[in-house]
Chain A
Amino acid sequence: MPTPVCTARQCLTDEATHALDEAVAVARRRSHAQTTSLHAVSALLALPSSTLREACTRARSSTYPPRLQFRALDLRVGVSLDRLPSSKALEEPPVANSLMAAIKRSQANQRRHPETFHLYQQMQQHNQLSLSCVKVELKQFILSILDDPIVSRVFGEAGFRSFDIKLAIVQPQSVSRFSRPRCPPLFLCNLTDSESNRRSFNFPFAGLAGFENGDANCRRIGEVLVKKKGKNPLLIGVCANDALSSFTESAQNGKRGILPTEIDGLSVICFEKEISEFLGKVGGEDMMGLKFKEVDAVSYVISQLSCLLEAHSGKLWLMGAAGSHETYVKFVARFPSIEKDWDLHLLPITSSQPSVGGLYSKPSLMRSFVPLGGFFPTPSELKNLLGSKNQSITRCDLCNEKYEKEASVVLKGGSIISVADQYSASLSSWLQMAEYDTSKRLDTMKCRPQMMELSQVPGVRSFPFSADGKGSSSKESSLDKSGCTTPNYFMPLNLQKISPPEQNIPIPMASEAENANFQPKLPVALKNQQREMESPWPTSYLMCSLSLPPDRTSSSSITSVTTDLGLGTLYASGEEPGKKFHDRLQHFSGSVSADLDEVSGNASNLITRSSCSGTELGGQMDPNDFKSLWRALAEKVGWQDEAIYTISQTVCRCRTGHGRRHGSNDKGNIWLSFLGPDKVGKKKIAVALAELIFSSRENLVSVDLSSEDGIFGRQDVSSYEVKFRGKTVVDYIAEELSKKPHLVMLLEHVDKANFPAQNSLSQAIRTGKFPDSHGREISINNTIFVTTSRVTKVDKNIPSGKENITFSEERILEAKGWQMQILIGCVGGNAIRTNGTNVVVMPMKATLNPLSANKRKLNNTTDSTEQGNTLEIPKRAHKASKSCLDLNLPADEMEEKNDYGNYDGDLASENSEAWLEDFFGQVDEKVIFKPFDFDALAKEVLKKISQSFQNTIGSEALLEIDPEVMVQILAAAWLSDGRRAIEDWVDQVLGTSFAEARKRYCLTGHSVVKLVACEDHIMEEQAPGVYLPARIILY
């Protein structure tokens, strides 16, 4: 309800009255129904020799030119005023509540102002001076108006901070915060100087109790208490108990500042002791121990508390503390509905005390950074001084009551019950209650939330002098005051929270100064949550799902026409060139694998690169050079014939000066990309290239752009770690390139290259200069870049052609360097069958018979108990070979994983894909590798092992090989140089172990020798030349 202007005038000095009249005039001119703070601001700015404008000049941010900023301010004020609804013109638009409240606030401020405090206090005590007699000076008037959130928002939008302005008003001589130079690092001394000046002003009263000790925690507790829902805080955290007790203590001692004004003056009842006594009586046991055992007692207490809360909702608060989340979970498990019944709010407590180190005198020194934090004497101070005496008496009495009785006390009103419980959990809580009193001062306060009213009663009770009308009105204004100092105290944050015009604050409220001030962050937060609910967030997941299917069509749709060629070669299946070459190569090597006829035959009608280069070669190549290179490479990696052929061709072609087709400036650098499986093969070829072309394997630098763990775990990673310390991949590559120009740079998993690496590579392949992350360019003449990629699309076809691969490359890559051991078992018993699902069985005879008990898809018909060599051999349709190696499929067939695994981890894979296509489109040659035939290798190795086994132990016993061991052996064979190494190992290490086993145990025909891996046991000693244990443990 607006106040008539004449009433308002009575509270003001002449100067201020003049300002008010101006404001009223502004309101009248604009035909507004009321005179608000904004009108006042507008008037104050317009006044000749305006204090406000002058203060603004000093407080303004130095980043903007002053004229502009003032113009912005004027505009802002004008716009805000325009937004107010106009009505029929009044002669004297009455003073709006917000402005009136500002006037009242300034009255209170002035009364407690250090310069006049004693004066007023004396007047009060002796003359019962009514507050309304205090005439507000213009300065105070302005200060209060600046507290109005609408006003501070207007200023904020014009680039002013209202507290800066306030400071400028209060301290005309002081320098503005903004223009103060940045502090030098070590400046504690000059800090104290400026400090002492200001402190004398800021802190007229001695200690600021409210700000110390547990303040932040208490503040948070207070915030919860004033919430509408979930207002009963349950503190959780190791320090929760400390925080609770410090809160109760300060509440009991009447440190008023710690409670939000809305509920200021609540009293506290703590019935921790009573509860433990009560429970202790029932259990007759140590209270800490019983907790949940005394079901009846505990639930009785709980239910009583729930009733109490229900009966007095709104007036009663319950608080508790739990040491850890686990405790709370136990508690909730015991009483599932407790959270709702008690309206609990979990409040994490992180530390018991604000970090007040004994050795450091932070608080007093540092106050200057809160220019207004202590600017107005806080209400808590005042109350402390005046009212601390008689509080303790009533409280103590209450505290000593027994819990059961307290319920009745609560009914009478005006007290808080608090139960606290120990770390050990269970019910610890605190009831708080205050009586609701409607009798007083509804007129000015009615817009306040109910809480506000609540707080007054106990307040009144605790002030001896405030029983009379004047006292209580002073009380009111002190509450007002604390209302505005609270947001100041959070200073920038809260103001900002309130000020953004983003529909967070309901507009009708905004017209009321107090309201806005007293709405804590809550409504804002709620709004936000709502918004979050509304806006559908799944969008963020879209990308993921898009990138998932590594589908040929989808990728081609992304690419442009120019990349189509690249696409063809890139995604053409590995078998394609193989087929073309098949005949040609037959006479080159006898070892062409039989896999070729399993080619899935998905014909791509794009021209394959192999035929292209084949025709191209004709005139350009130096045949001798090519042949020697080809032979040398084939010696190293015998199984990749076609790939080697292509590589040799390309290298020779490039080195004789016929480099990249597209390259305008051929600088002698060669770019190859090795696509497809066979990681080790690629690496070996890269090593061989370094040896053959640059004469030393030292000239190979290998970088794994994906940094996946390599075969046999750490081996790669550790070197990676040392290399990359403190560097990015790009910088590492650049550094190596600048060290040695003649070099093979092996970049593995180029498809996983991160963004900077992609950029650098693209630039390098185009310009012949490799840029590092600082933009320095390193020439890459004479460097051979070998990039490798598994390109999942190619992969996909391979398993489809060979569904029944026993040992996939992925499986081999996962091999670990375990220690191996030999176990002796007995045939016929269940031992074999329970030995796990993956058993490789070696029969005595040269032909391998499946004996294994594990019948998965294929072996259903096999009679596993029958021992011997007459078993039916299940045939695999795809196996042409007659020597039926039946290595059962590994339990966790990983086809799916293989296909998609690489993709899952890919971020924004469209981008990478597009880049990759582009990149591959520019390289000199794309070489498709075919999968390494591990099954054939396995067959060979098994043959060898079986030979060795028969030689040493004889054909009677049985050997079972753990698939893990098999994988390990295959991996080692793959890595080793030549087959010899593995054969040597079988002969020497394995053979010796067999012999020893035979010596130690009497092996009969019924014995089963098991070769298993000791998982989690890394091999101690490595056999020479091959990554297998030098010794096998015997049991």
Chain B
Amino acid sequence: MGYSLLDAFNVRDVGSGDKILVLAHGFGTDQSAWQRILPYLSPHYRVILYDLVCAGSVNPDYFDFSRYTTLDAYVDDLLYILDAKGVDRCAYVGHSFSAMIGILASIRRPELFTKLILIGASPRFINDRDYHGGFEQSEIESVFSAMEANYEAWVHGFAPLAVGADVPDAVREFSRTLFNMRPDISLFVSQTVFSSDLRGLLGLVRVPCCIIQTAKDVSVPQSVARYLENHLGGQNTVETLNTEGHLPHMSAPGLLVPKLLRALSRS
């Protein structure tokens, strides 16, 4: 009884199965992003869903601006949840932002994860000398100022871009969850994301990873998937989805599910 962090993060246990699967949503969504995927997974797995602290569905008061300055705090949250749930082995599906969190969590607690499935993952979004992350620093800054100036307008511009494919449902859904985030939190988190750089750490990952990447993603160029494959320390595979957009689990669940199941069954 009583208050707990599990309530705060809306941690849910769905489905039956011996194996545990954690679904972690990315920036601008919440766990509802997985609803199209979930029915396919719940018969086979015990699926654990939770909301990131930055999600719109979490009480914004929990977002501690002095704590969530780096990804590590989110990793703490994840590991806390897994511990509290008594999870000792699990497969982890992380989208975008959560893919980064998953990478870090698996470095810290490799024994906890059987497999990481990274959807639309990137170790660093900003271009560097010999690294193409997809964004220039200046672009990012203009994005930030756009977010600050008029969040709603930014959401309505960004959502279709991120979803990529022409799937009005997904765009609507993503806009909703994105807009649900409090603007200051949203901005703060995106600053965290864009200032993160995991490139040097990828080699520390020992857990096998499956990188799922769509053919065209505004946030993550194709080269990033290859970069991840080459630099992550475990056994890695790249699956390319023949669709567009950063949110294949919303826009193309039909394509994603078989790849997901295949990747999971290999673990």
Contacts and interface: CB of A to CB of B under 8 A. Distances in A.
Interface of A: 61, 72, 156-161, 177, 180, 182-183, 185-188, 191, 211, 215-217, 220, 236-240, 322-329, 346, 348-357, 359-360, 362-363, 365-367, 369-370, 373, 489-493, 496-497, 500, 524, 528-529, 531-532, 535, 537, 539-540, 542-544, 706-707, 714, 717-718, 720-721, 724-729, 732, 754-756, 773, 904-908, 911
15 contacts: A216-B69, A238-B199, A366-B188, A369-B65, A492-B62, A493-B5, A532-B88, A542-B18, A544-B265, A717-B242, A726-B167, A727-B253, A755-B39, A904-B265, A908-B44
B254 interface: yes
B257 interface: yes
Interface in B130-169: 141, 144-145, 148, 151-152, 165-167, 169
Nearest to A907: B44
B19 A726 contact: no
Contact of B61 (A177, A356, A489): A177
A477 to B, nearest CB: 24
Interface in B97-112: 100, 104, 107-109, 111-112
A706 B258 contact: yes
A5 B59 CA distance: 44
A714 B240 CA distance: 13
B70 A217 contact: yes
B80 A725 contact: no
B265 A905 contact: yes
A182 B181 CA distance: 12
Nearest to A729: B254
Given A182-B59, A532-B111, A350 B204 contact: no
A497 B80 contact: yes
Contacts of B2: 156-160
Contacts of B39: 728, 754-756, 773
B237 interface: no
A907 B83 contact: no
Contact of B148 (A359, A365, A367): A359
Nearest to B197: A238
A39 B204 CA distance: 49
A115 to B, nearest CB: 25
A754 B257 contact: yes
A371 to B, nearest CB: 9
B180 A185 contact: yes
B123 to A, nearest CB: 9
B254 to A, nearest CB: 4
Contacts of A238: 124, 197, 199-200
Contacts of A529: 109, 111
Contacts of B114: 540
B252 A725 contact: yes
Given A355-B188, A363-B66, A721-B252, A324 B200 contact: yes
A581 to B, nearest CB: 37
Interface of B: 1-5, 8, 17-20, 36, 39-40, 42-44, 59-67, 69-73, 76-77, 80, 83-84, 88-89, 100, 104, 107-109, 111-112, 114, 124, 141, 144-145, 148, 151-152, 165-167, 169-170, 179-180, 182-184, 187-188, 191-192, 194-204, 233, 242-243, 250-255, 257-258, 261-262, 264-265
A539 B196 CA distance: 37
A325 B201 CA distance: 6
B251 A360 contact: no
Contacts of A756: 39-40
Contact of A216 (B1, B17, B72): B72
A325 B234 CA distance: 13
A355 B180 CA distance: 21
A243 to B, nearest CB: 10
Contacts of B36: 728
B265 A352 contact: no
A492 B44 contact: no
Contacts of B148: 359-360
A3 B180 CA distance: 54
Given A238-B197, A325-B203, A355-B192, A185 B66 contact: no
Contacts of B166: 725
Residue from A239, A531, A542 whose CB has the most chain B CB atoms within 10 Å: A239
Would you list the 10 A-B pairs with minimal beta carbon distance, nearest first? A325-B203, A354-B69, A355-B191, A726-B167, A724-B254, A324-B200, A159-B2, A366-B65, A755-B43, A216-B70
B211 to A, nearest CB: 17
B57 to A, nearest CB: 11
Given A350-B71, A907-B264, A543 B88 contact: no
A373 B4 CA distance: 20
Contact of A360 (B20, B42, B144): B144
Contact of A351 (B70, B202, B255): B70
Nearest to B4: A496
A366 B67 CA distance: 12
A716 to B, nearest CB: 11
Contacts of A500: 84
Contacts of B182: 183, 185, 187
Contacts of B104: 348, 350
A717 B242 CA distance: 8
Nearest to B155: A185
Given A186-B152, A325-B202, A351-B196, A721 B88 contact: no
A367 B204 CA distance: 35
Contacts of A721: 242-243, 252, 255
Contacts of A350: 70-72, 100, 104, 196-198, 201
Contacts of B180: 185
Given A492-B8, A726-B252, 10 more contacts: A160-B3, A183-B182, A240-B200, A325-B203, A366-B188, A493-B80, A720-B254, A721-B242, A725-B167, A726-B165
B72 A215 contact: no
A542 B18 CA distance: 9
B17 A326 contact: no
Contacts of B64: 369-370, 373, 491
Contact of B17 (A353, A524, A908): A908
A658 to B, nearest CB: 36
Given A186-B151, A725-B251, A355 B195 contact: yes
Contacts of B107: 346, 348
Given A348-B204, A351-B70, A756-B40, A540 B3 contact: no
A178 B101 CA distance: 29
Given A348-B201, A369-B63, A492-B5, A188 B196 contact: no
B201 A237 contact: yes
Contacts of B152: 185-186
Given A329-B203, A725-B167, A732-B254, A72 B1 contact: yes
B111 A362 contact: no
B67 A489 contact: yes
A357 B169 contact: no
B71 A725 contact: no
A161 B5 CA distance: 11
A360 B191 contact: yes
A741 to B, nearest CB: 23
Contacts of B198: 237, 348, 350
A354 B144 contact: no
B5 A908 contact: no
A904 B265 CA distance: 8
A457 to B, nearest CB: 29
B43 A911 contact: yes
Contacts of A773: 39
Contacts of B257: 754
A353 B195 contact: yes
Contacts of B61: 177, 180, 369
A352 B63 CA distance: 21
Contacts of B42: 755
A239 B43 CA distance: 42
Contacts of B233: 325
Given A537-B89, A755-B40, A543 B243 contact: no
